[in-house]
Structure 1
Amino acid sequence: MYGQCLCGAIAFEVSSPTKWSAHCHCSRCRQAHGAAFVTWFGVSAQQVKLMHEDNTLRWFDSSENAQRGFCSTCGSTLFFRSERWPGELHIALAAMQEPIDRPVSAHVYFDSHVPWLTDTDALPKYGGDSGTEPLSQSEEERR
């Protein structure tokens, strides 16, 4: 599977299998991407090979224990890594030029989604501190 940033300065190859794929609604992902949510998938960091990277890949400490990787030329946010998931790399699905080996399976941090997102799919929705806890009945009804 092949992916790249908008300008092509960072290109990468990802080998299967992926671990998961989900839409993230946390405020940091929304701010980093300028979008209502970001669709990520996760792999072991060893499954990612940078094809070419013209010294443009930069890492930003977006929180105490997490970094976001982006292209310093075009600004594309491509990667996320955290001490919470050691050895795992999360990749923005929109950066992929080819389909990955699995469909998106859930919405995480959905309890903090933007209020103007009113029409969502039937995928399971999770929230809470971890972003992966089942929503309460009242939260489910608000979707």
Structure 2
Amino acid sequence: MYGQCLCGAIAFEVKPPTKWSAHCHCHLCRQAHGAAFVTWFGVESQQVKLMHDDNMLHWYASSDAGERGFCRNCGSTIFFRSERWPGELHIVLANMCDPIDREVSAHVYFDRHVSWIRNFDKLNQLGGENGTTPLKSIDPDLN
């Protein structure tokens, strides 16, 4: 599976299998991407191979325990890593040029979703402190 940033300066290959895929509604993801939510998937770090070694990937500490990897040239946020998931790399699904080996299975931090989007799919809705506790849907049409 192949992916890249907007300008192509950071290109990478991901060796399957992936571990999971989910839409994240946390505040940090929304701000980092300027979007209502971000769709991620996770793999073991060693399953990702950068195609260029030109120092275009920069890591920003977005919290005490997490960092976001982005392109120094175009600003695309591509990766996330955290002490919470040691050895795992999270990759923005929208940066993939090829399909991945699984469907998105959940909304995490759904209890923090923006109020200006109302029509969500029927995927599992998770929230709470760690973003992964099952929730009763906020939208009565989804119950």
Under TM normalisation by the shorter chain, which class is it? over 0.9
**Residue aligning to 2:71:** 71
Does the CA contact (< 8 Å) of 2:60 and 2:68 recur in 1? yes
- SS state of the match for residue 51, structure 2? strand
**Residue aligning to 1:49:** 49
Distance 1:142 1:128, change over 3 A: farther
Q: Residues of 1 paired with 2:47 and 2:111: CA distance?
A: 31
Distance 1:32 1:142, change over 3 A: farther
Distance 1:142 1:63, change over 3 A: farther
Amino acid at match of 1:4: Q
Does the CA contact (< 8 Å) of 2:79 and 2:89 recur in 1? yes
Once the two structures are TM-superposed, the CA of residue 142 in structure 1 deviates from its matched residue by: 7.9
**Residue aligning to 1:128:** 128
The percent identity for this pair of structures is 70
**Residue aligning to 2:140:** 141
- SS state of the match for residue 52, structure 1? coil
Once the two structures are TM-superposed, the CA of residue 56 in structure 1 deviates from its matched residue by: 1.0
Q: Residues of 1 paired with 2:132 and 2:3: CA distance?
A: 27
**Residue aligning to 2:62:** 62
Once the two structures are TM-superposed, the CA of residue 109 in structure 1 deviates from its matched residue by: 0.2
Which TM-score applies when normalising by structure 1?
Answer: 0.96
- SS state of the match for residue 30, structure 1? helix
Alignment RMSD, CA only? 1.3
Once the two structures are TM-superposed, the CA of residue 55 in structure 1 deviates from its matched residue by: 1.2
Which TM-score applies when normalising by structure 2?
Answer: 0.96
Once the two structures are TM-superposed, the CA of residue 54 in structure 1 deviates from its matched residue by: 2.4
**Residue aligning to 2:88:** 88
Q: Residues of 1 paired with 2:136 and 2:119: CA distance?
A: 19
Does the CA contact (< 8 Å) of 1:3 and 1:97 recur in 2? yes
**Residue aligning to 2:106:** 106
Distance 1:54 1:121, change over 3 A: same
List alignment gaps of at least 5 residues for structure 2: none
- SS state of the match for residue 125, structure 1? strand
Deviations along 1:7-28, one digit per CA (max 9) or x if unpaired, are 0000000000000000000000
- SS state of the match for residue 63, structure 1? coil
Which structure 2 residues correspond to residues 14-53 of structure 1 after superposition, within 5 A? 14-53=14-53
Does the CA contact (< 8 Å) of 2:125 and 2:136 recur in 1? no
Does the CA contact (< 8 Å) of 1:11 and 1:53 recur in 2? no
